[in-house]
Amino acid sequence: MNQPWFTIRWHEGAVELLDQRLLPSQEVYLHLTCVEDLSVAIETLAVRGAPAIGCAAALGVALGAEESQANHLEGVLGDLREVFIPRIERTRPTAVNLFWALRRMEKVIDGLAARPDASVQTLRQGLVAEAERIVREDVEICRTMGRHGASLVGEDARILTHCNAGGLATAGYGTALGVIRAAVEAGRRVSVIADETRPLLQGARLTAWELSKDGIEVTVCTDSMSGHLMRLGEIDLVVVGADRVAANGDVANKIGTYGVAVLAHAHNIPFYVAAPLSTIDLAIPNGDSIPIEQRGRDEIARLGSSLLVPDGVDVRQPAFDVTPAHLVSALVTERGVVSSPTSESIKKLFSST
Ligand code: MRU
């Protein structure tokens, strides 16, 4: 499937990205020329989804090297290490791909700075090359993951997904939606139920937008309907993405995922998680230690200019929840499908070639 749109790219010294806040009503690309604007784009969800946030962070480092006003290498390195990377690091705490991409870019910075021919120009070129490599690799990884996961999808499968784990949440193709796309490419007929995903409606706005563009049958339901549909026997499997997978297989993903997993378990419906190795955080022992982003009150209390919650009444606003590993039927990665993931099987993924 060749998408006639892109999520994020490097273009003529700037970062360009599809502004996801405006979808599906408007398709507008932002042209960002400074790290502050890129960081605000991540914070306000113009670009979102764990792998896409990682790509944005990597491109942001390349952008920082362009933006720096320093006219000598030490100055640019100082701006990157002390100003730009810490700024990007503060944007969103849960998706580990952000930190994974920044650490990878830092390694490249260290390597480039130590070269005998090191200069501002070689640094800038090297960082753009590495960031573009991360973007390209992300698409390839999603395609590979999709091929592995497609084996879990039967003919005429009716698939529930939550949030958007598609091309928009990655550099293209998608994690959970990559599994669905690969099944379709393998010739299977499928239909998708997209949970609307309160409060920011990534399922209704984004999953429905990109699947319908691809001609994949998609129906939107509100988050509270999935139990009803499962009880009616209308869901064959669930596939979602992840923002961070802990070493023991616990999965942080968009708020509401845990409820879907519990319901799937109660109805004996397989619950699959598709995530690249860059989303697995071996340094975090279990889901309790995953930092959960708390977002602003207005995302829940207001809809545009309308008030949904009376002033003075508290709201809770965690953006993610944690699904314990025992509810995950299989983890789909670029290294293959791991059934009933455990610390051991996850660790093995990193040692296989
Ligand atoms: O707040 P968001 O929109 O960045 O949350 C995104 C999700 O929770 C996705 O399901 C997750 O990042 C998987 S992306 C392939």
- Per-residue pLDDT tens for 164-206? 999 999 999 999 999 999 999 999 999 999 999 999 999 999 9
pLDDT at 115 (0 to 100): 94
* Average pLDDT in the chain: 97
- What's the CATH fold of domain 145-349? Rossmann fold (3.40.50)
Based on the residue annotation, tell me whether 138 is a catalytic residue of this protein. no
Q: What is the mean pLDDT of residues 126-147?
A: 98
CA of 145 to the centre of ligand 1 (A): 17
Which residues 6+ apart lie within 8 Å of 332 measured at CB? Answer: 145, 148, 149, 152, 175, 179, 239, 272, 273, 274, 275, 338
pLDDT at 1 (0 to 100): 60
Tell me the CATH number for domain 8-143: 1.20.120.420
pLDDT at 113 over 90: yes
Of the candidates 79, 223, 243, 321, the residue annotated as catalytic is 243
Domain ranges of the chain: 8-143, 145-349
Q: Residue 332 and residue 347: Cα distance in Å, rounded?
A: 14
Q: What is the mean pLDDT of residues 74-89?
A: 98
Q: Residue 149 and residue 274: Cα distance in Å, rounded?
A: 8
Q: What is the mean pLDDT of residues 286-295?
A: 98
Pocket around ligand 1 at a 6 A CB cut-off: 45, 48-51, 95, 163, 165, 169-170, 175, 202, 241-243, 253-254, 319
pLDDT at 67 over 70: yes
> Which one of 254, 258, 260, 293 would you pick to mutate in the ligand 1 pocket, going by the greatest count of ligand atoms within 8 A of its CB?
254
Per-residue pLDDT tens over the stretch 233-265: 999 999 999 999 999 999 999 999 999 999 999
Taking the CA of residue 176 as reference, the ligand 1 atom at the shortest distance is 15
Contact, 181 vs 148, CB < 8 A? no
Band (124; pLDDT cuts 50, 70, 90): very high
pLDDT > 90 in the chain, percent: 98
pLDDT at 123 (0 to 100): 97
pLDDT at 352 (0 to 100): 62
Q: Residue 177 and residue 165: Cα distance in Å, rounded?
A: 6
Q: Whose CA is nearest to atom 15 of ligand 1?
A: 165
pLDDT > 70 in the chain, percent: 99
Check for a shared fold between 8-143 and 145-349.
no
Band (3; pLDDT cuts 50, 70, 90): confident
pLDDT at 344 (0 to 100): 98
CA of 103 to the centre of ligand 1 (A): 20
Instruction: Indicate the range of 19-28, 165-174, 201-210, 343-352 predicted with least confidence.
Output: 343-352
